[in-house]
Amino acid sequence: MSSIVQNDLQSLITQNRLLTEEVKRRIDQLGAINAVAATVSQTLDLDKTLKTALEAVLNVVGAEAGGISLIDEKADEVILRAQQGWPDNFTDPPMRIPLGKGMSGKVISTNDIVVDNDFNETDVLAVPRFHDEKFRSIVMGPMHARNKIIGILSLMSNKPNSFTEELINVLRAIADTVGVAIDNAHLYETTSEHEKQLNAVLQSTTDGMIATDQSGCISMINHAAENLFDVDARKLIGTPLRDAPIHAKIRESLLYALSSHPKENKTFQTSLENGRVLSSIVSPVYIDSQVEKNGEHDGWMIVLRDVSHLRESEVRRAEFMRAAAHDMKNPLGVALSAMHMLQDYYGNSDPTAMEITRLALNGINRLQSLINDLLNLEQIESGLGITKGEFNLGDMLRELFEEMKPILIEKKLTYKLDIAENIPNIPGDQKWVRRAILNYVDNAAKYINDGGEIKVKAFMVDNLVHIEVIDNGPGIAVELQPRLFERFYRATSDKIQGTGLVLAIVKSVAELHGGGVYVRSQPGNGSTFGMTLSTKGLED
């Protein structure tokens, strides 16, 4: 064999050996990176992740000591959070280095690894006492997560020239792997802290709160709700709301709110047989999800408040006003007759006297309206003068809007009727149901601008007839809605006249007919006022 062939063969053998060594080196590097990644991914506890990551890195690269520092952007500092192999403790209290200072400042400014294989006492340090550690070689690399530097991974050796180019390449990959793991642990820690804070708020509030998932199964119930319903939260978690051992009247109202369309806030009050009154707000919960996007809400939040004390105050106030109304009715009648006599006496001869008389008449008429509304409430709640009959809701609604045409035309309002075909004749007092619907429509007409629209819907849900009056007016803030049906409560300014009893009358009529009232509204998006009537007949 010629010398040329032998030389070529020897060269090929050498190249194969070098290639094999390079492949082995690359495999070892990947193995080291994978070993660190597997180790640090086993926990989401931040302190444990820092300690585990540092141990894994030191074990893989064979360094004698190391440290992990995290960037505190609010404090503009790099803070040492974990160390191993150092003679002195620099983590309690933690070593803090201002951003931009020392070797860490160079790492951040260059966004690359910084190596000093001949570290000695002549090097200027941001923390001079670090020289006492007697290290001779230092390598520091940036840890990245979410496209930014979150900290610095440092390795130290007692020997000079300890960190080769090969080890530096491994460190470059490992640093980012550790950075991502630490960032995940930090995010988990922050999320857990926020969850604990939120849970503390939910458990300390006096309002009962129940959260359900999309299908209506209970996922959270706070202490106040437990006490309100005398139930054990541990037994309710995962239970469908329809099977929850809470008062049937409240449960039915909540289930209707959860099944209603559109999916928006709904507010209502429920009066229990024992005299307690609960105010409820049911709100859909929407959470942006990258995993599932089905276009539906993710669950419901139910807020319950015991407003029995407010109801008791309302009852006492109503009793006082009822008594006062009876006492004022006759004197007001006399005053009204006297004012009409004055009008006839002065005629048009004295404009000033006529204006004074007009103002007095307006005041008397408003007071009479208040008295009449109070007496109407007394009549409804006492049951005196209530006629038990049966009527066709569709016919009544069509007649009602025919009579209201002049008012609607004056304000340039349009109206629509949407009456389901399956509504049976309703047992009850047509006069008072008509009055209640008229109150809703008249209330909507007062608050929407000229050219607005009023829509009335009537439909069946189980054994309840639902009547909704929908407008495109200014809407009502959610926090005001629970009190809208209280007597004398007015959520708007006094520019629009009213007695504050219009909606209270609707509520009394609905409850007389075995139903209730509710409202859905958002500021700027109009309002929906609803009432339900039972098809079983009047409440006894």
178: domain CATH number is 3.30.450.40
Residue in this structure with the two tokens 């007759």, named with its chain if needed: 337
Structural domain contains residue 11? yes
How far is residue 419 CA from its own chain's centroid?
Answer: 34
- Tell whether 54 and 142 lie within a shared domain: yes
- Tell whether 185 and 278 lie within a shared domain: no
Find all residues with CB under 8 Å of 480, minimum gap 6, and list them.
491
Query: What's the pLDDT score for residue 318?
Result: 62
**450-480 burial code (b ≥16 CB/10 A, e <16):** eebebbbbbeeeeebbbbbbbbbbebbebeb
- Tell whether 82 and 222 lie within a shared domain: no
Q: Which domain holds residue 457?
A: 386-534
Whole-number mean pLDDT of the chain? 79
- Tell whether 168 and 269 lie within a shared domain: no
CA atoms 313, 228, 201, 291: torsion sign: negative
User: Is 80 exceeded by the pLDDT of residue 433?
Assistant: yes
Query: What's the pLDDT score for residue 452?
Result: 86
Which domain-ending residue is among 258, 283, 306?
A: 306
Structural domain contains residue 333? no
Supply the pTM of this predicted model: 0.46
Q: Per-residue pLDDT averaged across 334-359, rounded?
A: 74
Query: What's the pLDDT score for residue 540?
Result: 46
Structural domain contains residue 180? yes
- Tell whether 301 and 413 lie within a shared domain: no
C-alpha to C-alpha distances, 11 to 3, 5, 6, 22, nearest whole angstrom: 12, 10, 9, 16
Q: Per-residue pLDDT averaged across 101-116, rounded?
A: 90
- Tell whether 131 and 215 lie within a shared domain: no
Q: Per-residue pLDDT averaged across 182-191, rounded?
A: 83
Tokens encoding 275: 């005299």
Query: What's the pLDDT score for residue 300?
Result: 85
* CATH number where 501 lies: 3.30.565.10
Query: What's the pLDDT score for residue 459?
Result: 92
Contact 254, 241 (CB under 8 A): yes
Structural domain contains residue 27? yes
By C-alpha distance, which of 491, 443, 504 is closest to 311?
504
Structural domain contains residue 41? yes
Find all residues with CB under 8 Å of 146, minimum gap 6, and list them.
183
pLDDT tens digits along 473-512: 888 888 888 888 887 776 665 555 556 778 888 888 888 8
Structural domain contains residue 337? no
- What total of structural domains would you count in the chain? 3
Check residues 325 and 40 and name the one with the higher pLDDT: 325
* CATH number where 292 lies: 3.30.450.20
Among 10-24, 321-335, 476-490, the range of highest mean pLDDT: 476-490
Q: Per-residue pLDDT averaged across 362-379, rounded?
A: 69
- Tell whether 439 and 516 lie within a shared domain: yes
Query: What's the pLDDT score for residue 284?
Result: 82
The type of residue at 471 is: D
Tokens encoding 221: 């119930």
Q: Percentage of the chain with pLDDT > 70?
A: 81
Check residues 456 and 122 and name the one with the higher pLDDT: 456
pLDDT tens digits along 120-167: 877 778 888 888 888 999 999 998 888 899 999 999 998 898 888 878
User: Is 80 exceeded by the pLDDT of residue 22?
Assistant: no
Which domain-ending residue is among 240, 275, 306?
A: 306
**Cα 204 from Cα 362, distance rounded (Å):** 50
Structural domain contains residue 99? yes
User: Is 70 exceeded by the pLDDT of residue 428?
Assistant: yes
- Tell whether 261 and 394 lie within a shared domain: no
- Tell whether 140 and 286 lie within a shared domain: no
pLDDT tens digits along 234-274: 888 888 888 888 878 788 878 877 776 656 677 777 777 77
**Cα 296 from Cα 287, distance rounded (Å):** 10
CA atoms 500, 493, 440, 498: torsion sign: positive
User: Is 80 exceeded by the pLDDT of residue 514?
Assistant: yes
Structural domain contains residue 343? no
Query: What's the pLDDT score for residue 468?
Result: 93
CA atoms 26, 28, 29, 35: torsion sign: positive
How far is residue 260 CA from its own chain's centroid?
Answer: 19
Tokens encoding 365: 């008429």
Which domain-ending residue is among 287, 306, 325?
A: 306
**Cα 266 from Cα 258, distance rounded (Å):** 9
Query: What's the pLDDT score for residue 83?
Result: 92
pLDDT tens digits along 302-317: 888 888 887 777 667 6
